[in-house]
Amino acid sequence: MPNKTIYVSDGDLPLFQRAQELTGGNLSATIVQALRRLVDVEEGKIEGFEEVTVRVGPGEGRRQRFVGVLLVEWGRSSKDRVERFRIYRGRTGKFVVHTERSPETAWSAGADGATRGWRKYVSSDQQWSTTAATATVEIADDLDALRGLVPSELYELVAAAAAEPAVEDLDI
């Protein structure tokens, strides 16, 4: 295996030491991993993609990151919840579906939960619940797989957008 020597300035030495601590001591593997990520992001930018970070899970959740281009953003609401869909195309051609759902509130009145109309506002037996906001990421290998993951109205928008090139070079 060939050896490469990397010269590190005194000012950058604490950064290299911290990276080595965080990765369990294999600094070469850490540098290679960082370079792979850098190359992936920079090549993606040249191709018209960008680095995307989204939140997933309940509440604040955790973050997931990928390189892609936004194709369509679409939303819908009901009396109980708002849903927001963002569809991205990744560098490999797969589709990323990021869905955010607002907290959902359910409310009923009466001992059996069946009181309707104005009476539910004056009933002494009221029940309510609220779920946490959630967000998910799903991956579809192609348009056929995407069809089962999103509402039909959104699918049509994505299919039309996916037919367009990610970057079009203009000769002007």
pLDDT digits (tens, 9 = 90+) for 20-75: 888 887 788 888 888 888 888 888 888 888 899 999 999 888 999 999 999 999 99
Residue 57 — left, alpha, or beta (φ > 0 → left; ψ -120 to 50 → alpha)?
Answer: left
The pLDDT score that the predictor gives to residue 94 is: 94
pLDDT digits (tens, 9 = 90+) for 78-100: 888 899 999 999 988 999 999 99
Which DSSP string corresponds to 35-86?
HHHHHHHHHHHHTT-EEEEEEEEETT-EEEEEEEEEEEEEEEE-SS-EEEEE
Q: Is the pLDDT of residue 16 over 90?
A: no
Which residue shows structure tokens 């060939």?
Answer: 2
Residue (of 56, 149, 155) closest to 101 by Cα position: 56
Report the distance separating Cα 30 and Cα 43, nearest Å. Answer: 20
Supply φ then ψ for residue 130, to 5 degrees.
-135, 130
Which DSSP string corresponds to 84-124?
EEEEEEETTS-EEEEEEE---EEEEESTTS---TTHHHH-S
| 126 contact partners, CB below 8 Å, separation of at least 6 | 107, 108, 109, 120
pLDDT digits (tens, 9 = 90+) for 103-152: 987 767 666 666 666 656 666 677 777 888 999 999 999 999 999 999 99
